[in-house]
A and B are shown apart, each in its own frame.
Chain A
Amino acid sequence: MLKLAMRNMARQRARTAITLAGIALGVASLVLCGGFVADILLQLRERTIHSQLGHLQIYKQGLHASGGHHPLDYLIEDVDAVGRELAALPGLAVYGQRLAFPGLISNGRAELPILAEGVEPGPEAQIGSAFSILAGRPLTTHDRFGVIVGEGLAKSMKLEPGDRVNLVTSTREGAANTLDFEIVGVARSLSKEYDARSVRLPLQAAQELTDVAGASAFVVLLARTEDTGRARAMLASRLPPGLEVKTWHELDDFYKNTAALYERQFGFLQGVILVMVLLGVANSMNMTLHERTAEFGIMRALGRTGREVFLLAIAEAALLGAIGALAGVIAGAALAWLISAIGIPMAPPPNSESGFHARIQVVPVVLAAAFALGLLAAVCGSLVPARHVTRVPLSDALRRAV
């Protein structure tokens, strides 16, 4: 049956080539589309992680549930114990402490509420590789009273590197405290909302300003994002009681919403491609099988049952689908590498100011799914015509022989 199917494919070379091209084009489109979505989500994920979240964050239990409004009430005081566990974590890239607190920023002309974060400049430089400095420079370990302000905040208050600002906050005991800082840089994260009110300062200065000794969070960066779940489970079992571990995915609604939006949009696009492939293949198979009604009639006259002839037609379609889909996968992967080498300039995602260059990921699951869909489309597209031609009355089918 397979030999017959292969020879029949080779018989109508032009039509077979067109059908194969249709399947291959559809499969390649699915590979490109799927790879594009995968890349967008991958880049978005990594940018989300490397913008400010890290892979994991460790809090005192209750901080996250309370909405993070009073971080000074949920301080991790034994930072050394947490640090020891983190240092022993397999797959760790780096970790850093943060101390978040609400406050006010003032430059003498204006005053705005802010969300300040004391950070360790060394680890943050690795964790926040997608935290772009638009003007000035990042914080360094030598900056004792330097701050970085978010892009939106800088615009609102017309702040530039070199300007002096005053940060005001309440200590844990409720006393007001203030310190003078120099703006060393203006930064952009993935979140416009964050950039509109964020101020980053050295951890030591933040502790001085809030008059506390601990940290409100530990931010953990792993070598591989895929290890997040495993690392979380390990930490959850090893950390001192009273602490909780959150993954980047749990902390970031922006990624979840954006990913859901992209997945819906591209899912629809993939659906359209699939329908086009299905209709194209069905049309081609319909013509091919219809023309061979007499031939199928001969087979039935020679003793083949309708079911056997139907299976032959389906085997031909499956073979065509497999070859076309394989060609599509190869072409799609080759195009993906080519396009990735150039890059696709992308507008910023919703609620973000930073655009990026998308690539096409060659994802084995996408390749396998595209291949399976190409094959399935060819088989499904031939079901109705195959059923039709094998049900033509035998005497009518033979009459069509020329």
Chain B
Amino acid sequence: MLARVEDVSKEYQLGDQPVTALHHVNLSIEQGVFMAIAGPSGSGKSTLLNLLGCIDTPTTGTVYLDGEPLSGKSADELARLRGRWIGFIFQTFNLLPVLSAAENVEYPLLQFVDMRGEERRRRVRHYLKLVGLAEFERHRPNQLSGGQRQRVAIARALAVRPKIILADEPTANLDHRTGSRILRLMRRINRSTGATFVFSTHDQRIIDLADRRVDLEDGRVVRLGVRSGHEWVYAAERAAAADRTGSAERAAAADRTGSAERAAG
């Protein structure tokens, strides 16, 4: 299991009012999935993504990444984890404006002190080519279109060869056509490289492309789905299927997701 969220709750203080963004969420993410965390605004999608990305810490519960619990780690340790294990794609692209496309992709690689310059540059060229921007490597973000900027962000996220890529509403600031292209690109990369993508979104196109979905409402997981052909099979159905086939392994998986659903409900 690549990542696991175990009985996680998150509370914020909004003025004097405590606000619970996530209620006892349980979730497992397998290697290589293309997962959509869906739900309306305020449902806790971004909060869950932030917890997975070590950007925020849960109030209670534990997040595991590659079997390692994140709780108790210092800010610097979490920063190092983010740098090596996690790739981010943001709604607002979040490129460093003073760096060229190539330099933006190279930036997270600079913290790998044992990586030689030539290897870094080779990797930058490779990922810029992968996202179709080989000819724009010297362009600054303000010289690129929104879609191109998001492609640079994808290349940047991929360049560190992270265990997981977290994308927060990556199509929200793109026009329909560009958004679709970007999504197809990420799906292609997911299939060709086996990179794990987790999206927070309410864009139906992402859900349509995803092979896993987590539906959130008011900070609770209300549904966990696995794509089967063109259909979604939800946790309860999968548990029943597991019972029928007697597969101990699948039943165990269903139990975990089932308990999450119960907790969320």
A and B are partners in one complex rather than unrelated chains = yes
A305 at interface by CB-CB < 8 Å: yes
- In the complex, the answer to whether B79 meets A300 with C-beta atoms within 8 Å is yes
B190 at interface by CB-CB < 8 Å: no
Taken residue by residue from 71 to 107, chain B's Cβ proximity to chain A (1 for < 8 Å, 0 otherwise) reads as: 0000110011011100010101010111100000001
- In the complex, the answer to whether A295 meets B96 with C-beta atoms within 8 Å is yes
- In the complex, the answer to whether A303 meets B94 with C-beta atoms within 8 Å is no
Q: Which of B111-134 contact A (CB under 8 A)?
A: 111
Q: Which of B212-242 contact A (CB under 8 A)?
A: none
For B79, B80, B97, B160, the residue with the greatest tally of chain A CB atoms inside 10 Å of its CB is: B79
- In the complex, the answer to whether B82 meets A303 with C-beta atoms within 8 Å is yes
Please pick, from B75, B92, B108, the residue contacting A401 in the complex, using a CB distance under 8 A.
Answer: B92
Rounded to whole Å, the gap between the CB of A228 and the closest CB of chain B is 56
CA distance A401 to B75 in the complex (A): 21
- In the complex, the answer to whether A4 meets B99 with C-beta atoms within 8 Å is yes
- In the complex, the answer to whether A393 meets B96 with C-beta atoms within 8 Å is no
Q: Residues of B within 8 Å of A, CB-based: how many? A: 24
- In the complex, the answer to whether A303 meets B55 with C-beta atoms within 8 Å is no
**What DSSP secondary structure best describes chain A's contact surface?**
helix
For A295, A299, A395, A402, the residue with the greatest tally of chain B CB atoms inside 10 Å of its CB is: A395
Q: How many A-B residue pairs have CB under 8 A?
A: 62
B56 at interface by CB-CB < 8 Å: yes
- In the complex, the answer to whether B97 meets A298 with C-beta atoms within 8 Å is no
- In the complex, the answer to whether B76 meets A305 with C-beta atoms within 8 Å is yes
- In the complex, the answer to whether B75 meets A306 with C-beta atoms within 8 Å is yes
A299-B107, A300-B82, A303-B83 given; 18 more Cβ-contact pairs under 8 Å: A4-B98, A8-B98, A10-B98, A298-B94, A301-B53, A301-B94, A302-B83, A302-B108, A303-B80, A303-B82, A304-B79, A304-B83, A305-B76, A306-B76, A307-B76, A394-B55, A398-B55, A398-B90
- List chain A positions with a Cβ less than 8 A from chain B: 4, 7-8, 10-11, 294-295, 298-307, 393-395, 398, 401-402
- List chain B positions with a Cβ less than 8 A from chain A: 50, 53, 55-56, 75-76, 79-80, 82-84, 88, 90, 92, 94, 96-99, 107-108, 111, 156, 160
The 4 A-B residue pairs whose C-beta atoms are closest, nearest first, are A303-B83, A7-B98, A302-B108, A305-B79
